[in-house]
Amino acid sequence: MPEYEKDHEHLPTGSQEQPGFGDQEFRTVALADTEGMTVEKTDVYAEPAPGKPRGAWGEAWRELRRSPRFYVSAALLLLLVFMALWPGVFSSADPNNCPIVDTDIKPNADHWFGTNTQGCDIYARTVYGARASITVGVVTTALVVLLGGVIGAFAGYFGGWIDAILARVTDVFFGIPLLLGALVFMSAFPEDRTIWLVVGALGVFGWMQIARIMRGSVVTVKQSDYVVAARALGAGTPRILMRHVLPNAIAPVIVVATISLGTFIATEATLSFLGIGLPPTEVSWGADISSATTVIRDQPYQLFFPSLFLSVTVLSFILLGDAVRDALDPKLR
């Protein structure tokens, strides 16, 4: 793999220097991979000083505090997370109390968002649905960061044949689109379809981007003078990884992770739409949107409210990732 061999010589810290890299992780969805080229290109750009995470973070934080995008998205996310944790605060109605005689009521004072065909209160379902979506997004992202981080760090740190093998494994997974992989994965476990299975399905097919970034960062840092110095002073591998490599890789990973979080939430909804997402007992936006599509002609509001919340959530994460990305990338200021 030429690009891998090559970055042993010089290396990209993943992304800071790469314009629009933030757009690229979307290829988790779009599934493209231009790693080869980005690597080649990096030596052309000025290399950021990798060794001073604290300074960079302070700078970024100052930048963030000036970004309205950051405030808007952070406020929305706080609200949504609060909703996911304590839905009872927002709605006293039971989302599973669905008297069929209350079918298809338009939004009114009793039912702010109306009721669906089953007679369930849409406002209550929308509030309670936050938990499933946000859990899937957050836990999947955590899993992906862990999985991709470990694999990427391994490949980057050890290099050689381990790197070559992990690179091929990464390619294998990259070749399968997230939705397609998750579709087949979910179908393979018809019996115990839980929220954790959805997380697993998305995690298994969603870690590659993080792994590549992580690997890139590790390769860069590994060859930097201060790591060589640390090693000469007798620092062990774990210490080097923890102290020097991680802080450096974390910034691009955070950006990618925040943005893919939105992607995972949207993909979960799509799985539910295809009928193989969360179990029916779970109140979720995806499932509600899916059943609302059948009444789009007559009761569009049933589609509107859960879709709105889903989109706002996805949007908030993307905005946040975007703001962080801009804060970390001096060139875009």
Partner 1 sequence: MRGTTRAKWLAGVGILALAATACGSSSDNKKSDTGSGAGNSASGGSSSGGYYTASSTEPQNLLQPANANETGGFYPLSMMFRGLYTYDPKTGDTVPAMAESMDTTDSVNWTVKLKSGWTFHNGEPVTAKSFVDAWNWGALSTNKQINATWYQPIEGYDQLHPEQGEPTAQTMSGLKVVDDNTFTIKLTSPISSFKAQMGYTPFMPLPTEFYKDPAKYGEAPIGNGPFQLDTAAGGWERKKQITVKRYDNYKGNDKAKAAGVKLVFYTTYDAAYTALRDNKLDVIDQMPTSAIASFQKDLGDRAIVQPQLSIQKIGFPLYDPEWSKPGAEKVRQGLSMAIDRAAITKAIYKGLEVPANDFLAPGIPGHADVCGDTCKFNPEKAKQLVAEGGGIPHGKLTIATNADGPHREWVTAVCNSINQVIGAGSCEPKLYPEFSVARKDISGHKMQGAYRTGWKADYPFPDNFLNDVYRTGAASNDAGYSSPVFDNLAKQAMATADKNQSLDLWKQAEAQMVKDLPSIPLWYYTTKAGYSTNVSNVQFDVFGNPVFTEVTVK
Partner 2 sequence: MGRYVIRRLLMMIPVFIGTTFLIYYMVYQLGGDPISAMFGDRGADPVFVAQKRAELHLDDSLIVQYWYYLKGLLQGDFGTTLNGIPVADELKRAFPISIRLALVAFAIEVVIGVTAGLIAGLKRGKFADSVVLVVTLVVISIPVFVLGYVLQYFMGLQWGWFPATATPGDPTWEDLILPGIVLGSLSLAFVARLTRTSIVENIRADYVRTATAKGLPRRRVVTVHLLRNSLIPVVTFLGADLGSLMAGAIVTEGIFNVDGVGRLIYLSVTRHESSTVVGAVAALVMIYLVMNLIVDLLYAVLDPRIRYA
Binding site for partner 1 (CB under 8 A): 94, 96-101, 103-104, 117-120, 186-187, 190, 193, 274-276, 279-281, 291, 293-298
Q: Under the criterion CB under 8 A, does residue 89 sit at the interface with partner 2?
A: no
Q: How many angstroms separate the Cα of 232 from the Cα of each of 10, 99, 111, 235?
A: 21, 72, 69, 7
Q: Are 132 and 284 in contact (CB under 8 A)?
A: yes
Per partner kind, with CB cut-offs from 5 to 8 A, the member of partner 1, partner 2, none near residue 97 is: partner 1
Q: Under the criterion CB under 8 A, does residue 172 sit at the interface with partner 2?
A: yes
Q: Under the criterion CB under 8 A, does residue 162 sit at the interface with partner 2?
A: no
Q: Under the criterion CB under 8 A, does residue 158 sit at the interface with partner 2?
A: no
Q: Are 229 and 249 in contact (CB under 8 A)?
A: no
Q: Under the criterion CB under 8 A, does residue 146 sit at the interface with partner 2?
A: no
Closer to partner 2 by Cβ: residue 33 or 102: 33
Measuring CA to CA, which residue among 289, 285, 329, 290 is closest to residue 133?
Answer: 285
Distance, CA of 190 to CA of 244 (rounded, Å): 44
Distance, CA of 259 to CA of 29 (rounded, Å): 11
Q: Under the criterion CB under 8 A, does residue 266 sit at the interface with partner 2?
A: yes
Q: How many angstroms separate the Cα of 129 from the Cα of each of 75, 120, 286, 317?
A: 19, 13, 9, 17
Q: How far is the CB of 298 from partner 1 (least distance, A)?
A: 5
Binding mask 210-249 for partner 2 (x = CB under 8 A): ----------------------------------------
Q: Under the criterion CB under 8 A, does residue 40 sit at the interface with partner 2?
A: yes
Distance, CA of 160 to CA of 330 (rounded, Å): 34
Per partner kind, with CB cut-offs from 5 to 8 A, the member of partner 1, partner 2, none near residue 281 is: partner 1
On the 0-12 / 13-18 / 19+ scale of CB atoms within 10 A, 40 is: middle
Per partner kind, with CB cut-offs from 5 to 8 A, the member of partner 2, partner 1, none near residue 26 is: partner 2
Q: Which stretch binds partner 2 (CB under 8 A): 76-84, 146-154, 219-227, 282-290?
A: 282-290
Rg over alpha carbons for the chain, rounded to the nearest Å, is 22
